[in-house]
């Protein structure tokens, strides 16, 4: 067992790792219509499965498995960038190290609510943006999601995501960029308990 203490709003552990920020959203509250909510929820969970490389193609999808609780972590090294998809602005090409490995389309197994294919992934991007900003990381979302509310997330953190073949320039404008501007690596931890999705970012003390 190890002890912990609270200092300046951060939870510090004996390993000198600090919880920089943590927020959560309910995947049962993505949309008021139950059917549409399930589409949003499944697309979010599938997006994380692609990020984990648990799924690499449509044929890998087992919805019962993807809906089970999980913990997933990834490490972002100093001056490296996470982007939601690989079509990025030129300034990020040399620092890009992690994406969600997905394009949110039918070929990859994403679902449609009758309006957009892959609807719901913007909610995941917005959660990442929100927590990254609170953690003090260099987070940039060029296109706000102000055309539609995202439940439980303030409009200032809404992120519009788009990825279509042969539209790299447009795609780059509807992306999310998070660069680790700290001197040490940071850890992104996603925890899904079957109802809520929680993202926490941890970092070593500077």
Average of per-residue pLDDT across 51-75: 97
Q: What are the structure tokens assigned to 70, written together? A: 């999980």
Q: What local confidence, expressed as pLDDT, does residue 206 receive?
A: 64
Residue 188 has pLDDT above 50, yes or no: yes
> Using one digit for the tens of pLDDT, what is the confidence trace for 141-158?
998 887 888 999 999 999
pTM: 0.90
Do 91 and 85 meet the contact criterion of CB atoms below 8 Å apart? Answer: no
Residue 168 has pLDDT above 50, yes or no: yes
Nearest in space to 72 (alpha carbons), one of 107, 94, 93, 101: 101
> Using one digit for the tens of pLDDT, what is the confidence trace for 114-129?
877 888 999 999 999 9
Rounded (10°) CA dihedral 151, 156, 158, 162: 160
Q: What local confidence, expressed as pLDDT, does residue 151 receive?
A: 92
Q: What are the structure tokens assigned to 69, written together? A: 């609780």
> Using one digit for the tens of pLDDT, what is the confidence trace for 82-104?
999 999 999 999 999 999 999 99
Where in the chain are the domains?
Answer: 20-204
Q: What's the start-to-end Cα distance of the chain, in Å?
A: 24
Give the residue with greater pLDDT, 14 vs 30.
30
Instruction: Give 71-135 as a 3 state SS string.
Output: EEEEEECCCCEEECCCCCCHHHCCCEEECCCCCCCHHHCCCECCCCECCCHHHHHHHHHHHHHHC
């Amino acid at each position: 067992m190890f002890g912990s203490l609270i200092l300046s709003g951060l939870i510090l552990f004996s390993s000198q790792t600090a919880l920089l920020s943590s927020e959560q959203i309910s995947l049962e509250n993505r949309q008021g219509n139950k059917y549409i909510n399930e589409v949003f929820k499944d697309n979010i969970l599938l997006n994380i499965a692609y990020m984990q490389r648990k799924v690499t193609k449509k044929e890998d999808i087992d919805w019962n498995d993807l809906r089970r609780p999980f913990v997933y972590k990834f490490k972002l090294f100093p001056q490296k960038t996470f982007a939601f998809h690989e079509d990025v602005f030129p300034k990020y090409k040399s620092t890009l190290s992690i994406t969600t490995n997905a394009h949110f389309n039918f070929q990859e197994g994403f679902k449609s609510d009758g309006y957009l294919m892959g609807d719901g992934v913007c909610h995941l991007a917005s959660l990442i943006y929100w927590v990254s900003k609170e953690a003090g990381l260099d987070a940039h979302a060029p296109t706000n999601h102000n055309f539609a509310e995202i439940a439980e997330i303030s409009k200032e953190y809404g992120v519009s995501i788009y990825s279509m073949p042969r539209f790299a320039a447009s795609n780059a404008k509807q992306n999310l960029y998070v660069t680790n501007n700290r001197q040490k690596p940071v850890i992104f931890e996603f925890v899904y308990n079957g109802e809520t999705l929680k993202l926490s970012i941890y970092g070593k003390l500077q």
